[in-house]
Amino acid sequence: MKKLFAFALVPVVAFSISSCGSLASSLKNTVENTATGKIDDKASEETGAAMDTMLGNGHGSSAQNNTGTSNTSVAGQPANAPQTITAYQNYDFKPGENIVFDDNFVSDQDGEFPAHWHLENGQGVVNGVNGQPAFLLTEGNYVLVTPRMKTDNYLSDPCTIEFDYFANHGYAPMVRFIDTKSENRDVHFGHSVETGYFPKDLSGSDIGSEEDYFNKWHHAAIIYKNGQMKMYLDNSRALVVPECGFVPASLKIGGIGGTDNPITIRNVRLANGGNSNTIGALLTNGKFVTHGITFDVGKATLRPESMGTLNDVAKFLKGDPAANFEIDGHTDNSGAAATNMTLSQQRADAVKAQLVTMGIDASRLSTKGFGASKPIAGNDTPEGMANNRRVEFVKM
């Protein structure tokens, strides 16, 4: 049986044994009360505060702001922030075109089990971490959760999976694929990426020092295509399995959860299609629609993972100096129409500004924000709203 790996305790975050015991008791009570519908708001807030203290995060007024940050370092970045746009300059992951599941947990109440997930084993709860909601898998060996989907087999060939996870000193998060033969195939994300129950199990190289890994958020990404699987950890391709020997049909997320070091995830996205030929789409259609350029919730701040798509766009523009494009920003319908219109314009401007820093002449690019006025999917489901949040490049 494939082993699950724990990490040696390293003095990155200092906290007392009594604090751990208090946190464990508080989390356990919160989860148990959640299951019986008896959540105590004050206890839930205290639990979140204890968790944030342990993780090195603030949990004050900013915890109510899903786009806020706290505990900034002297450089002005959150103490446990993920890598920056600059670090992702050579990133080549591109997500699928059709989003089938998307959850950032902003619609879930603090202290509750998230509405868009099934609990198969163990315990879990939503709590604010560093001003953003996250899904904490607090108990279980294994704790397993799965997205609520309308069909049993919802992944196609190709497909992509993305999520952020917080690296504490417990067990690493695991993606468990269920293949078309109902067999389990595991991918473990930790200091390195490892596979389990594959025809031949492999392990990638470490991402860096313990200082680079622990007490930080990391971005995990997987693409499956034509029997091959590529796994990304932050800005690097961490492992390639040329022959998986299976076709994924659905998945679960989990591992060995604990109340003192829970598996902590956020920004989960599943999409079908993947690694599309961006240059070909631009050339053939004169219009390129992408969900691969993403932003912080409610902001025009580009997420570093956007560089996979932006690198392709910049490469095409450099190869065709005569091509000019309008960059269109689109949002879902949450919030006021005027706010969405402004936000979509700001996001289109942010994309242009980034491309200019990558060597594209600003005169070749114009921008326009459409807000929620041109949906391509219904706004009545999270995945529909995620598909509507997009950037389009229209050849001029």
Whose tokens are 């082993």? That residue is 3
Q: What is the pLDDT of residue 80?
A: 52
Do 123 and 257 meet the contact criterion of CB atoms below 8 Å apart?
yes
Instruction: Convert the pLDDT of each residue in 253-264 to its tens digit.
Output: 999 999 999 999
Instruction: Convert the pLDDT of each residue in 180-227 to its tens digit.
Output: 999 999 999 999 999 999 999 999 978 778 888 999 999 999 999 999
Task: Report the alpha-carbon distance of residue 328 to residue 259 in Å, rounded.
Answer: 44
Question: Quick check: 38 pLDDT over 90?
Answer: no
Give how far the C-alpha of residue 153 lies from the chain's centroid of Cα atoms, to the nearest Å: 21
Instruction: Convert the pLDDT of each residue in 284-321 to its tens digit.
Output: 678 899 999 999 999 999 999 999 999 999 999 999 99
Q: What is the pLDDT of residue 82?
A: 54
pLDDT band at 81 (very low <50, low <70, confident <90, very high): low
Task: Report the alpha-carbon distance of residue 57 to residue 79 in Å, rounded.
Answer: 8
Task: Report the alpha-carbon distance of residue 64 to residue 327 in Å, rounded.
Answer: 32
Structure tokens at 219: 């971005």
The overall average pLDDT reported for the chain is 82
The region of weakest confidence among 19-33, 83-97, 366-380 is: 19-33
Burial class (CB in 10 A: 0-12, 13-18, 19+), 334: middle
pLDDT band at 40 (very low <50, low <70, confident <90, very high): very low
Q: Is 270 left (phi over 0), alpha (psi -120 to 50) or beta?
A: beta
Question: Quick check: 19 pLDDT over 50?
Answer: no
Look at the pTM and tell me if it is higher than 0.75. yes
The 3-state secondary structure of the chain reads CCCCCCCCCCCCCCCCHHHHHHHHHHHHHHHHHHHHCCCCHHHHHHHHHHHHHHHCCCCCHHHHCCCCCCCECCCCCECCCCCCCHHHCCCCCCCCCEEEEEECCCCCCCCCCCCCEEEEEEEEEEEEECCEEEEEEEEEEEEEEEECCCCCCCCCCCEEEEEEEECCCCCCCEEEEEECCCCEEEEEECCCEEEECCCCCCECCCCCCHHHHCCCEEEEEEEEECCEEEEEECCEEEEEECCCCCCEEEEEEEEEECCCCCEEEEEEEEEECCCCCHHHHHHHHCEEEECCCCECCCCCCECHHHHHHHHHHHHHHHHCCCCCEEEEEECCCCCCHHHHHHHHHHHHHHHHHHHHHCCCCHHHEEEEECCCCCCCCCCCCHHHHHHHCEEEEEEC
Looking at per-residue confidence, does 285 or 91 come out higher? 91
Task: Report the alpha-carbon distance of residue 72 to residue 21 in Å, rounded.
Answer: 27
pLDDT band at 27 (very low <50, low <70, confident <90, very high): very low
Task: Report the alpha-carbon distance of residue 249 to residue 337 in Å, rounded.
Answer: 38
Structure tokens at 11: 């003095």
Q: Encode 54-73: b = buried (16+ Cβ within 10 Å), e = exposed.
A: bbbbbbeebbeebebbbbee
Instruction: Convert the pLDDT of each residue in 128-174 to its tens digit.
Output: 988 889 999 999 999 999 999 999 999 999 999 999 999 999 999 99
Q: What is the pLDDT of residue 55?
A: 41
* Phi then psi dihedrals of residue 55, to 5 deg: -85, -5
